[in-house]
Amino acid sequence: MRILVVGSGAREHALLRALRRDPDVTDLHIAPGNAGTLALARPHPVDVTDPAMIAGVAELVGPDLVVIGPEVPLVNGAADVLRERGFAVFGPSAAAARIEGSKSFAKDVMAAAGVPTANALTVTNLEQIDAALDACVSPYVVKDDGLAAGKGVVVTEDREAAAAHARAVLGSGHPVLVEEYLAGPEVSLFAVCDGRTAVPLLPAQDFKRVGDGDVGPNTGGMGAYAPLPWAPAGLVDTVQRTVLDPVLVEMASRGTPFAGLLYAGLVITAVGPKVIEFNCRFGDPETQVVLELLDTPLGTLLAAAAAGRLGDVRLSWRGAAAVTVVIAAENYPGTPVTGDPITGADADGILHAGTKLDGEGCVVSSGGRVLSVVATGDDLAQARDRAYALVDGVRLRGSHHRTDIALAAAQGRVHVPGTA
């Protein structure tokens, strides 16, 4: 099987790494990729926001399957353009990708499907902000309705900070969602979907805040681990029954079946799991740990989803636990410092994100999240030790990472994110 992966982050590096293990995958291509993916796949330059350009690369490569990593091309209709041209694609149509592209659309789908989620109000002008915040109790949850690279959400006990975020989002031209705060540990559950059937992967937990102990602003994600030793018994079955299956039925009944990766971001509340967001693609950094543990050949699985043949798929897993730690550039999640040389980034398990080769062929930083180090172990403690040993071998001036990824779980505690 020849596969073209679209994207350039550690998620795509992880996808290539897992696809490489599939004996039926013979030829891998990546558009555009990064310095680390060069060892696994042939690179093709592309602007991932441009569906026509992605289709152009596919025409050149002639893949049996295209796997689209990031949300922006999906929301922009890349899967539709590719399907129109006859390619098999793992990734939802633009109409189905709205489940991530618009949080109010996702709320509407959940309401129609009876999926448990936080109550929310949509705010479209400045005059509505105060009334919406009045309707909530602290901590306030204020979200950008549109795509914001995981950084559009503010959770705060400071009402003025909540109002300021709402004003900033409205100023950028997007509606705002003011949402009920859900207390409890967070879980990310991915499901491979073919429009009718959802096949859930292992639940994982990610760490959104930039600093140890959940301080500082939200990021795209600073680390993750799987599995979750503290997860309630039957969690995956519950989410399949209360979230995944009803959403697939609802999306299909709207004439926009969801085929691709449905990512449910959940809070395990006192009354069971509730959805805080959907994404329409593999999440980064959870993908790095989930795929590291997947034994089922990934190319075959994603091709079955693209062909609508997931009905009798059963997954198998390898290894006991996996931990990933993100190494970020100086000043991330603000404007990151880029162009710094990186050394020690070629060890097995170091996945690249914001990296490129400079004119002399040296690896330099080119984005906010630069590397994502992944390791497995017999348990989370061992996977953690191995991941942090890899982190210690990397040199990048000014870089930072969290030191508490999977720490609570490895010590038998449950990690519950705090507020800023």
Instruction: Supply the minimum distance, in Å, between the C-beta of residue 120 and ligand AMP.
Output: 8
Question: What residues between 113 and 132 interact with ligand AMP by CB under 6 A?
Answer: 118
Among 121, 146, 149, 181, binds ligand AMP (CB under 6 A): 181
Q: Which is nearer to ligand AMP, 32 or 265 (CB)?
A: 265
Q: Which is nearer to ligand AMP, 153 or 170 (CB)?
A: 153
Total residues binding ligand AMP (CB under 6 A): 17
Q: Which residue is nearest to ligand AMP (CB)?
A: 277
Number of Cβ atoms within 10 Å of the Cβ of 159: 15
Binding part of the chain for ligand AMP, among 75-83, 175-183, 232-240, 390-398 by CB under 6 A, reads 175-183
How many residues does the structure list for the chain? 420
Q: Is 268 exposed, middle or buried (0-12, 13-18, 19+ CB in 10 A)?
A: buried
Instruction: Supply the minimum distance, in Å, between the C-beta of residue 188 and ligand AMP.
Output: 9
Among 41, 58, 153, 244, binds ligand AMP (CB under 6 A): 153
Check residue 100 for interaction with ligand AMP (CB under 6 A): no
Q: Which is nearer to ligand AMP, 64 or 180 (CB)?
A: 180
- Contact (CB, 8 A) for 192 and 302: yes
Instruction: Supply the minimum distance, in Å, between the C-beta of residue 284 and ligand AMP.
Output: 13
Check residue 222 for interaction with ligand AMP (CB under 6 A): no
Instruction: Supply the minimum distance, in Å, between the C-beta of residue 157 and ligand AMP.
Output: 12
Instruction: Supply the minimum distance, in Å, between the C-beta of residue 143 and ligand AMP.
Output: 6
Q: Is the dihedral of CA 219, 364, 375, 402 positive or negative?
A: negative
Binding part of the chain for ligand AMP, among 40-48, 58-66, 150-158, 362-370 by CB under 6 A, reads 150-158
- Concatenating the DSSP letter of every residue in 234-281 gives THHHHHIIIIIHHHHHHHHHTT---EEEEEEEEEEETTEEEEEEEESS
Q: Which is nearer to ligand AMP, 218 or 399 (CB)?
A: 218
Check residue 109 for interaction with ligand AMP (CB under 6 A): no
Check residue 147 for interaction with ligand AMP (CB under 6 A): no
Residue 6's closest CA among 28, 36, 39, 35?
Answer: 28
CA 361 to chain centre: 30
Question: What residues between 236 and 265 interact with ligand AMP by CB under 6 A?
Answer: 265
Among 142, 166, 182, 373, binds ligand AMP (CB under 6 A): 182
Query: How far, in Å, are 76, 295, 321 from residue 49 at the CA level?
Result: 7, 32, 34
Question: What residues between 154 and 173 interact with ligand AMP by CB under 6 A?
Answer: 155
CA 113 to chain centre: 23
Check residue 218 for interaction with ligand AMP (CB under 6 A): yes
CA 269 to chain centre: 22
Check residue 186 for interaction with ligand AMP (CB under 6 A): yes
Number of Cβ atoms within 10 Å of the Cβ of 243: 27
Among 29, 208, 352, 386, binds ligand AMP (CB under 6 A): 208
3-state SS, residue 36? helix
Binding part of the chain for ligand AMP, among 41-49, 177-185, 365-373, 404-412 by CB under 6 A, reads 177-185
**Unique residue bearing structure tokens 């449910």:** 264
- Concatenating the DSSP letter of every residue in 167-209 gives HHHHHTT--EEEE----S-EEEEEEEEESS-EEE---BEE--E
Question: What residues between 271 and 330 interact with ligand AMP by CB under 6 A?
Answer: 276-277
Query: How far, in Å, are 324, 396, 407 from residue 402 at the CA level?
Result: 11, 15, 10
Q: How far apart are CA 394 and CA 302, in angstroms?
A: 33
Binding part of the chain for ligand AMP, among 88-96, 129-137, 180-188, 382-390 by CB under 6 A, reads 180-188
Q: Which is nearer to ligand AMP, 99 or 153 (CB)?
A: 153
Number of Cβ atoms within 10 Å of the Cβ of 103: 28
Question: What residues between 320 and 379 interact with ligand AMP by CB under 6 A?
Answer: none
Query: How far, in Å, are 115, 247, 249, 297 from residue 241 at the CA level?
Result: 10, 10, 11, 26
- Contact (CB, 8 A) for 310 and 199: yes
Binding part of the chain for ligand AMP, among 64-72, 84-92, 149-157, 350-358 by CB under 6 A, reads 149-157
Instruction: Supply the minimum distance, in Å, between the C-beta of residue 328 and ligand AMP.
Output: 17
Q: How far apart are CA 298 and CA 303, in angstroms?
A: 8
Check residue 105 for interaction with ligand AMP (CB under 6 A): no
Instruction: Supply the minimum distance, in Å, between the C-beta of residue 274 and ligand AMP.
Output: 8
Residues that bind ligand AMP (CB under 6 A): 118, 141, 143, 150, 153, 155, 179-182, 186, 208, 218, 265, 276-277, 417
